[in-house]
Amino acid sequence: MSISYTLGAGETFDSIIAIPADAVENQSYPLYNTATQQLYNNGDTSGVGGIFTFIEVNGGATAPAGGPLASGLAASPNPTSGNVPVTLDALLDTTATSGLDIVAWEYFLNDLGEPGTGISETVTAGATISVSAAIPTNTLATLPAGDVSIYVRGQDSSGTWGPVNSTILDLVVDGPVITSLYLTNNPTNGGKDVGIQATADDTPTGNVPVVAAEYFIDTVTDPGTGISMTLNAQAIIVSLNATIDTTTIAGLAHGTHVVYVRAQDELGNWGAVEPVDLEVDLVGPTSIGVSLSPNPSNGTKAVNSASNGVRLEIDSSDPSLIAQAEGFIDYVDSTTNPDGSGFPLLAKDALYNSTLERSYFDIPLSTIRQLSEGPHEISFHARDNAGNWGDVASLTLVVDMTGPEISNLLADPNPTPGGRMQIVTLTADATDVLGGTNVVQVEWFVGTDPGFGNGFALEAVDMAFDSSAEAVIGQLNVSSWFSGNYTLYVRAQDAAGNWGELGSVVLTVNGRNNPFLVDNFETGNLAAWNGVVG
């Protein structure tokens, strides 16, 4: 029966609902206001909504006689993993219905069938009886995990089947799930214990307490045969902890190993194993020198204007993350220079957080100046976050504070023969005796010293300044020089920036007559004078 009536805003409506006269005691009738004209703010008609309630019959007719009523249903153990039979108990009673003896009963698992088609069990006839059945493990094994509906009903001696009653069996066949699994002190070189931490959660699988956990290294064996872990409680979600000691780690080869963790719930279900990699790292990083600049050094020139030192740059690599790098000057051995005692190199990207790192250190010029002249080994190595120091590598820094010496200085011809065109060949040897660094330039001048680098250049005989000993040569046009004796000075600079001492040779020029007097205060010399005072 349905009634339709349109209500205005704020209007109420009373209606009378007719209930059949033969309605049975305690029977309920639903009352539903569909609200099909309820409008949203946008004017659309609501598809769902309204009011729903029940009208319960009091003082109605007595329910007709029927079959047995089932009550008190219970399944035990519940929840269950299905590895033991489940006992189903129920009470069947006809005293409120037919009063006849109960002669049969049956149950269904998940799917309710027609009366008489269920799993039947024998009974001892009576109007009120307790019944019990064992659901075997092979039957439980065919059921899907989760909530299993068990339906029970009985039959009286007239052949009438009573109504169905039901209960739920919680069938849990999967163990806890492992999450948030990680290892501390990983990678490891065996110097420290490795911690295992994880969470075991039975919420997705059975919602029953977790009671045990275990771990394996590399090989998983039968459930319950692993190394036990500690639980912080027996609850549905628990924290797991264990320690892999240094003795165990010492037995593992260098490389990647797998730690497997699983947990067990109180029903005996073991969950799936969860893996995590354990890196056993017994080899330190490989380091190579990138640059040492400026090199050679005389202790006065820095790598750039923002620095006050000679810069060492290195590259370090390792399967594990690089943790630090250090350097030494004139490294001896690990006893004299223990690991961790060197000067620290800085990560060029500001943070050691990669398997490949470039790092640097500016050796102060004040430190360079305290070193003896000659080659010095600048050694270095790096440490990974497993704690391994790598092999020591090195670059050679040449400390050179003395400039090249000039020898075998000759001017040819000397004296000059005279004539309108006079070319003198100037030759010398420049040798960096103490420092042993390359000669990079040679210059000559006559008269007042013009300052370092401001003289006239001499060329390398072999056309390249690329060794610590160079023969040099230059052509001097002295055609315009006045007659007299001239002192020619020669000096050289090495790669460290040092200028050497002056070498000199006296050149006698037979050239133009030297005027005694000049009318424009030109610069001349005193070569033509017999004597000079002042």
What residues contact residue 509 under an 8 Å CB cut-off, 6+ apart? 415, 416, 422, 478, 481, 482, 483, 484, 485, 486
Phi-psi label, residue 225: left if phi above 0, alpha if psi -120 to 50, beta otherwise = alpha
Beta carbons of 375 and 292 less than 8 angstroms apart? no
Q: Rounded to whole angstroms, how far apart are CA atoms 517 and 527?
A: 13
CATH number of 286-399: 2.60.40.10
CATH number of 405-509: 2.60.40.650
The side-by-side arrangement of strands in the sheet containing 503-509 is: 405-412, 423-431, 469-477, 456-460, 439-446, 484-494, 503-509
CATH 2.60.40.650 in the chain, residues? 177-280, 405-509
Q: Rounded to whole angstroms, how far apart are CA atoms 248 and 245?
A: 5
DSSP 8-state symbol, 445 = E
Residues pairing with 32 in the sheet: 52
DSSP 227-276: EE-EES-SSSEEEEEEEE-HHHHHTSPSEEEEEEEEEEETTS-B---EEE
Residues of the chain falling short of pLDDT 50: 22, 24, 26, 36-49, 63, 519, 527-530, 534
Beta carbons of 367 and 312 less than 8 angstroms apart? no
- Residue among 363, 365, 396 at smallest CA distance from 378: 396
Of the options 2.30.250.10, 2.60.40.10, 2.120.10.80, 3.20.20.150, the CATH number for the domain spanning 69-171: 2.60.40.10
Residue 82: other Cβ atoms inside 10 A: 24
Q: How far apart are the first and last CA of the chain?
A: 144
CATH 2.60.40.10 in the chain, residues? 69-171, 286-399
What residues contact residue 2 under an 8 Å CB cut-off, 6+ apart? none
Q: Rounded to whole angstroms, how far apart are CA atoms 352 and 358?
A: 9
Q: Rounded to whole angstroms, how far apart are CA atoms 418 and 482?
A: 10
Q: Rounded to whole angstroms, how far apart are CA atoms 22 and 267?
A: 51
In this structure, what are the phi and psi dihedrals at residue 340, rounded to the nearest 5 degrees? 90, 0
The side-by-side arrangement of strands in the sheet containing 393-399 is: 343-344, 322-329, 374-384, 393-399
Q: Rounded to whole angstroms, how far apart are CA atoms 159 and 154?
A: 10
Give residue-wise pLDDT tens across range 415-449. 998 778 899 999 999 999 887 899 999 999 999 99
Beta carbons of 452 and 499 less than 8 angstroms apart? yes
For position 52, what pLDDT does the model report?
Answer: 52
What residues contact residue 234 under an 8 Å CB cut-off, 6+ apart? 209, 210, 211, 266
Q: Rounded to whole angstroms, how far apart are CA atoms 347 and 411?
A: 56
In this structure, what are the phi and psi dihedrals at residue 231, rounded to the nearest 5 degrees? -105, 140
Q: Rounded to whole angstroms, how far apart are CA atoms 104 and 512?
A: 150
What residues contact residue 450 under an 8 Å CB cut-off, 6+ apart? none
What is the residue whose two structure tokens read 């056309």? 463
Distance of CA 432 to the CA centre of its chain: 52
DSSP 8-state symbol, 6 = P
- Residue among 415, 422, 459, 418 at smallest CA distance from 440: 459
Q: Rounded to whole angstroms, how far apart are CA atoms 121 and 107?
A: 9
Beta carbons of 234 and 240 less than 8 angstroms apart? no
Beta carbons of 263 and 212 less than 8 angstroms apart? yes
Q: Rounded to whole angstroms, how far apart are CA atoms 174 and 189?
A: 37
For position 45, what pLDDT does the model report?
Answer: 44
Beta carbons of 397 and 384 less than 8 angstroms apart? no
For position 94, what pLDDT does the model report?
Answer: 97
Amino acid code (one letter) for 241: N
Give SS3 for 137: helix
Residue 152 sits at the vertex; the CA angle it makes with 149 and 158, to the nearest 5 degrees, is 155
Beta carbons of 116 and 153 less than 8 angstroms apart? no
What residues contact residue 82 under an 8 Å CB cut-off, 6+ apart? 137, 140, 141, 143, 171, 173
In this structure, what are the phi and psi dihedrals at residue 447, rounded to the nearest 5 degrees? 85, -140
Q: What is the pTM of this model?
A: 0.64
Give SS3 for 217: strand
Beta carbons of 141 and 87 less than 8 angstroms apart? no
Beta carbons of 262 and 178 less than 8 angstroms apart? yes
Q: Which CATH architecture has domain 177-280?
A: Sandwich (2.60)
